[in-house]
Amino acid sequence: QVQLQQSGPGLVKPSQTLSLTCAISGDSVSSDIAAWNWIRQSPSRGLEWLGRTYYRSKWYSDYAPSVKSRISINPDTSKNQFSLHLNSVTPDDTAVYSCARGVGVSFQVFHIWGQGTMVTVSS
Amino acid sequence: DIQMTQSPSSLSASVGDRVTITCQASQDIGKYLNWYQQKPGKAPKFLIYDASNLETGVPSRFSGSGSGTDFTFTISSLQPEDFATYYCQQYGNLPFTFGPGTRVDVK
C-alpha cells in the first residue's frame, strides 16, 4: 500500500523559501507508472496544482505557470522521497500543501495524498 | 490555463435526495475530467475519471457525464456519508486545474 508522509516547517517568513519533503513508502520515486505532485489549497485560490516530477528513462518536471519562476520539485532516489522548494514567498502563498501520487495516461489522477501541511507565510 | 467553474457553489439536501452538480471548462477538454470528494480536514478522494468512469470501490450512486466543456456529476440518492465538498479537475492540458468546489450540506 502506497503511503506519503510529509515533513517541513509550518511557518515561513516573507521573501524566504518554503521547503517541504514527501517520503514515499510502498512505491518508488523512480516508478515508471506514477508522477509525484505538489498541490496546495487555500480559501482564496482553492485547489491549485503546482507541479510534478517523474522518471521515464530520465527525470522530467512540469510546473504551473503561476509559480514556474519560483518553484522546483526534486526527487531524491537515495531516500525515496521528493521535495518542493518555493522561493520568494509572500502571504499569498499561505495554504495547505499536499503531495500526491499521480497515475493514469497523463498521471492525471491524484489517488493517494499526503497528510497535508499548513504553511503560513508571516513575519 | 483552462478555467473551471462549478455550480452551484453550495447546496442543501436531505438523505435520499438526488443531487446534481455541473462543471464547465473554459475550452474543450474532451472527456478529460475527474471528480473528487473532500471532507473537512481530509485529502480529496478520487471518484470518477474520464468524465464518467467510476473508480473501483466507489458506490454506484455516484455518476458523471458530459464532454467538451460541460459536465455533470450526480448522486442518485444522497447518503449521510456523502455530505462533503465536490471538485472537478481537468487534465486536457497542463496545468491541471480544479473547479472551485460545490459544498453539499444538510438541509
DSSP code, position A92:
G
| pLDDT > 90? residue B2 | yes
Give the pLDDT confidence of A75-106 residue by residue, as tens digits.
999 999 999 999 999 999 999 999 999 998 88
> A64 pLDDT exceeds 90?
yes
Q: What is the DSSP letter of B82?
A: G
**Any CB–CB contact under 8 A between A65 and chain B?**
yes
Chain-chain contact of A109 with B96 (C-beta, under 8 angstroms): no
pLDDT for B24 equals 98
- The answer to whether A108 contacts B95, with C-beta atoms less than 8 Å apart, is no
pLDDT tens, residue by residue, B71-82: 999 999 999 999
Average pLDDT value for residue range B27-53: 96
Residue A99's Cβ-count burial label (10 Å; 0-12, 13-18, 19+) is buried
Cis amide leading into B8 (omega within 30): yes
Judged by CB atoms closer than 8 Å, whether chains meet at B43 and A62 is answered as: no
Q: Which residues of A touch B55 (CB under 8 A)?
A: 111
Residues of B in contact with A47 (CB under 8 A): 44, 87, 89, 98, 101
Q: What is the 3-state secondary structure (H, E, C) of B11-46?
A: EEECCCCCEEEEEEECCCCCCCEEEEEECCCCCCEE
The values of phi and psi at residue B10, to 5°, are -155, 160
Q: In the block, which residue shows the cell 472551485?
A: B100
Query: What pLDDT score was predicted for residue A107?
Result: 85
Q: What confidence tens digit (pLDDT) does each residue in A8-58 have?
A: 999 999 999 999 999 999 999 999 999 999 999 999 999 999 999 999 999
Q: What percent of chain B has pLDDT over 90?
A: 100
- Residue in A with minimal Cα distance to B48: A109
